[in-house]
C-alpha cells in the first residue's frame, strides 16, 4: 500500500464518525462536507467463491482504482466488505460532490480479474451534504444511506439527497421570505480586503452577500444562494448584489479609493446567455469600467456545460472583466481549467492555507499551486490567513495576495475607505 493510500483510508468506523463530526463542526458558511455511501452490490455467491480472500482482493482493487480519484483531504472507510463510506470535506457546492461520485463510479468500471475470472462491479452511490441535508454526522450518514437505497430501488447509479430546508422555515416560507427581501432591496453586502504583498497595499476586495441583519428571520448565505437558485431567484439576487457593489464602488472612486471588487458567480448564473449584456448594462448605469470588477467562479461552475461556459467566460473576458477560480485545489479537474479558460487569478482554498503548519502535504500543495499559477502567468490569492506565521510563510513562497481575519473581517462598504486609510498608515508595521 502506498503512502497516499494509507493517508486516505480510515481503519475504523468510530474514527470515520469522529472525523466526520469534526469536519461538520469546523464548517464555515461558504462550504459543506459531503458523505458518499458506495455499495458494490456483489452477491453472496461471489463472496463464497472468493472466500476467505474476498475482502482483501476487493480492497486491493479499490486502492488501485479509487485513490487516484480522491483529493488529499478526502477519506474513506470500508463499512462492510461490500460498502464503503467517503468523507469529502470543504466543498463549495453539491455539484462537486456529484462530480466526485461519478469519478468514483468511472474508476470502478474497470473489471476485477482473478486468475481466469473477470468480475464486473455494479456500484451505486448515495450522497448527502452537511449542513444542507443534515446537521450531524449520524444524520448526514443516514440521509446518504437513504439516498443510496433510493438509487438502488430506482436502478440508478447515483442519487443526491433532497435539500433539507432550514428548520426555521417551511419549504414554502423560505422562498417567499427571500423574494420579499429581494423586492425590498434589503440584501446586505460586506467587503473583505485582499492585501497585495508586493506593494503592501489594498488593490482589491471581495464582495460577500449577507442576509439583512435586521430581518426577523435568519438565513445562512449557503441556504440563501441554494434556495435562490432552486426557485429561480438567483438572477434577481445577483443583479441586486451587482447594483449595490457598483454603486459603492462608484462612490469609493469619487473619494479616491480605487479597488477591484470581486463578486462570486454561481453555476446557475453562468448558464444565462444574457449575463454579459446584463453586466455591461449595469456598468454603464454606474459609469464604471469592467476592469473595476472581478468575477470569481468555483470549479463546480465548469462541469455543467463546458462549451457554453468556455464561450461565456471568453465573452466576459473580452468585455474587460477579470476572472478567478475560487477554492482552487478542492475540485477534481483543476489543471484542465488553467489550460482552457481565460483565467487571471487563482484563490488557494483556506483548508490548505490553514493546514500548512500541521500537514507537510498541505504546505507542498500551496507551494505547488503558487508555482503552477505563476508558470501560467496567473496571480495567486491565499484565503483564510489568520496568523502572522501563515502570512510570512506565504510571502516566502511568492504568494501575490492574501485574504483573511489576520487583517480584517468582512465589513460594510461605508467602513472600507477609513479602514484602507488606516491600513496604509500602518502597513509597514504589519508587513
What's the whole-number mean pLDDT along residues 311-330? 88
What's the whole-number mean pLDDT along residues 363-390? 92
DSSP string computed for 136-153: SHHHHHHHHHHHHHHHHH
Q: Provide the pLDDT for residue 213.
A: 82
- Is residue 166 in a domain? no
Question: At 15, phi and psi to the nearest 5?
Answer: -65, -40
- Is residue 226 in a domain? yes
Considering only residues 329 and 102, tell me which one the structure prediction assigns the higher pLDDT. 102
pLDDT band at 166, cuts 50/70/90? very low
Number of domains in the chain: 2
Q: Provide the pLDDT for residue 95.
A: 80
**For helices 54-66 and 94-107, what crossing angle results, to 10°?**
120
pLDDT band at 331, cuts 50/70/90? low
108: domain CATH number is 3.30.70.270
Residue 114 scores a pLDDT above 70: no
207 lies in the same domain as 142: no
Q: Provide the pLDDT for residue 170.
A: 45
190 lies in the same domain as 74: no
405-415 burial: b if 16+ Cβ within 10 Å, else e: ebbbeebebee
**pTM of the full structure:** 0.68
- Is residue 265 in a domain? yes
Considering only residues 273 and 267, tell me which one the structure prediction assigns the higher pLDDT. 273
pLDDT band at 43, cuts 50/70/90? very low
The cell for 387 is 496568523
Q: Cα separation of 293 and 321, whole Å?
A: 6
**For helices 275-286 and 306-319, what crossing angle results, to 10°?**
20
Q: Provide the pLDDT for residue 216.
A: 62
Q: Which sign, positive or negative, has the C-alpha torsion 95, 96, 102, 104?
A: negative
| C-beta neighbour count of 9 within 10 angstroms | 18
From residue 261, give the alpha-carbon distance in Å to each of 76, 137, 298.
39, 37, 17
The cell for 185 is 432591496
| C-beta neighbour count of 131 within 10 angstroms | 19
pLDDT band at 241, cuts 50/70/90? very high
Closest by CA to 124, choosing from 39, 66, 61, 35, is 39
User: What is the Cα gyration radius of the chain?
Assistant: 23
pLDDT digits (tens, 9 = 90+) for 187-231: 999 999 999 999 999 999 999 999 998 776 677 777 787 788 778
Residues 6+ apart with CB under 8 A from 41: 82, 121, 122, 123, 124, 152
- Is residue 202 in a domain? yes
What pairing do the DSSP bridges indicate for beta strands 322-328 and 345-348?
Answer: parallel
Domain coverage including residue 249: 173-430
Q: Cα separation of 163 and 94, whole Å?
A: 10
Cβ 325 vs Cβ 291: under 8 Å: no
Q: Provide the pLDDT for residue 46.
A: 47
From residue 377, give the alpha-carbon distance in Å to each of 196, 326, 338.
17, 17, 10
Considering only residues 292 and 58, tell me which one the structure prediction assigns the higher pLDDT. 292
Cβ 130 vs Cβ 85: under 8 Å: no
Considering only residues 164 and 391, tell me which one the structure prediction assigns the higher pLDDT. 391
111 lies in the same domain as 227: no
Cβ 73 vs Cβ 179: under 8 Å: no
Residue 34 scores a pLDDT above 70: yes
The cell for 399 is 504568494
Q: Provide the pLDDT for residue 327.
A: 74
Q: Burial, 274: exposed, middle or buried (Cβ in 10 Å; 0-12, 13-18, 19+)?
A: exposed
112 lies in the same domain as 248: no
Q: Cα separation of 413 and 188, whole Å?
A: 10
Q: Provide the pLDDT for residue 192.
A: 96
Q: Which sign, positive or negative, has the C-alpha torsion 377, 400, 201, 204?
A: positive
Q: Provide the pLDDT for residue 289.
A: 96
pLDDT digits (tens, 9 = 90+) for 70-106: 888 899 998 877 789 999 999 988 888 888 888 888 8
89 lies in the same domain as 196: no
191: domain CATH number is 3.20.20.450
Residue 354 scores a pLDDT above 60: yes
- Is residue 364 in a domain? yes
Q: Provide the pLDDT for residue 304.
A: 58
384 lies in the same domain as 266: yes
What pairing do the DSSP bridges indicate for beta strands 124-130 and 158-160?
Answer: parallel
Closest by CA to 355, choosing from 48, 23, 118, is 23
Query: Rounded mean pLDDT of the chain?
Result: 83
pLDDT band at 4, cuts 50/70/90? very low
Q: Cα separation of 106 and 366, whole Å?
A: 28
210 lies in the same domain as 236: yes
Residue 67 scores a pLDDT above 90: no
203 lies in the same domain as 54: no
Distance, first Cα to last Cα, the chain: 44
Last residue within a domain, chosen from 120, 137, 160: 160
pLDDT digits (tens, 9 = 90+) for 247-270: 999 999 999 999 999 999 877 777
Q: Cα separation of 369 and 346, whole Å?
A: 8
Amino acid at each position: 500500500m502506498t503512502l497516499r493510500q494509507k493517508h486516505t483510508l480510515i481503519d475504523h468506523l468510530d474514527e470515520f464518525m469522529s472525523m466526520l463530526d469534526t469536519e461538520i463542526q469546523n464548517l464555515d458558511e461558504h462550504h459543506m462536507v459531503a458523505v458518499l455511501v458506495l455499495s458494490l452490490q456483489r452477491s453472496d455467491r461471489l463472496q463464497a467463491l472468493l472466500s476467505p480472500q474476498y475482502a482483501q482482493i476487493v480492497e486491493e482493487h479499490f486502492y488501485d482504482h479509487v485513490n487516484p480519484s480522491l483529493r488529499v483531504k478526502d477519506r474513506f472507510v470500508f463499512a462492510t466488505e461490500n460498502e464503503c463510506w467517503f468523507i469529502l470535506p470543504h466543498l463549495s457546492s453539491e455539484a462537486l460532490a456529484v462530480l466526485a461520485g461519478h469519478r468514483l463510479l468511472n474508476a470502478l468500471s474497470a473489471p476485477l480479474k482473478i486468475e481466469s475470472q473477470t468480475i464486473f462491479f455494479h456500484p451505486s452511490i448515495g450522497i448527502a451534504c452537511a449542513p444542507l441535508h443534515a446537521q450531524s454526522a449520524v444524520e448526514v450518514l443516514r440521509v446518504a444511506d437513504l439516498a443510496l437505497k433510493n438509487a438502488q430501488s430506482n436502478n440508478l447509479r447515483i442519487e443526491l439527497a433532497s435539500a433539507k430546508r432550514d428548520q426555521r422555515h417551511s419549504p414554502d416560507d423560505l422562498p417567499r421570505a427571500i423574494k420579499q427581501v429581494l423586492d425590498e432591496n434589503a440584501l446586505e453586502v460586506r467587503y473583505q480586503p485582499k492585501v497585495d504583498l508586493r506593494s503592501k497595499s489594498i488593490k482589491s476586495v471581495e464582495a460577500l452577500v449577507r442576509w439583512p441583519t435586521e430581518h426577523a428571520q435568519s438565513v445562512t448565505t449557503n441556504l440563501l444562494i441554494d434556495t435562490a437558485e432552486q426557485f429561480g431567484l438567483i438572477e434577481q439576487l445577483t443583479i441586486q448584489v451587482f447594483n449595490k457593489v457598483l454603486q459603492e464602488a462608484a462612490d469609493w472612486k469619487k473619494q479616491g479609493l480605487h479597488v477591484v471588487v470581486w463578486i462570486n458567480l454561481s453555476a446557475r448564473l453562468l448558464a444565462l446567455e444574457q449575463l454579459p449584456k446584463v453586466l455591461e448594462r449595469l456598468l454603464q448605469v454606474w459609469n464604471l469600467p469592467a476592469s473595476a470588477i472581478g468575477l470569481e467562479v468555483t470549479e463546480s461552475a465548469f462541469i455543467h456545460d463546458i462549451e457554453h461556459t468556455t464561450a461565456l467566460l471568453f465573452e466576459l473576458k473580452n468585455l474587460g472583466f477579470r476572472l478567478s477560480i475560487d477554492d482552487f485545489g478542492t475540485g477534481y479537474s483543476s489543471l484542465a481549467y488553467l489550460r482552457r479558460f481565460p483565467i487571471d487569478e487563482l484563490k488557494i482554498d483556506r483548508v490548505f492555507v490553514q493546514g500548512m503548519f500541521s500537514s507537510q502535504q498541505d504546505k507542498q500543495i500551496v507551494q505547488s499551486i503558487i508555482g503552477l499559477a505563476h508558470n501560467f502567468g496567473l496571480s495567486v490569492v491565499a484565503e483564510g490567513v489568520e496568523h502572522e506565521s501563515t502570512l510570512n510563510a506565504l510571502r516566502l513562497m511568492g504568494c501575490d495576495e492574501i485574504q483573511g481575519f489576520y487583517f480584517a473581517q468582512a465589513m460594510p462598504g461605508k467602513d472600507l475607505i477609513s479602514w484602507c486609510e488606516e491600513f496604509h498608515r500602518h502597513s509597514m508595521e504589519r508587513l
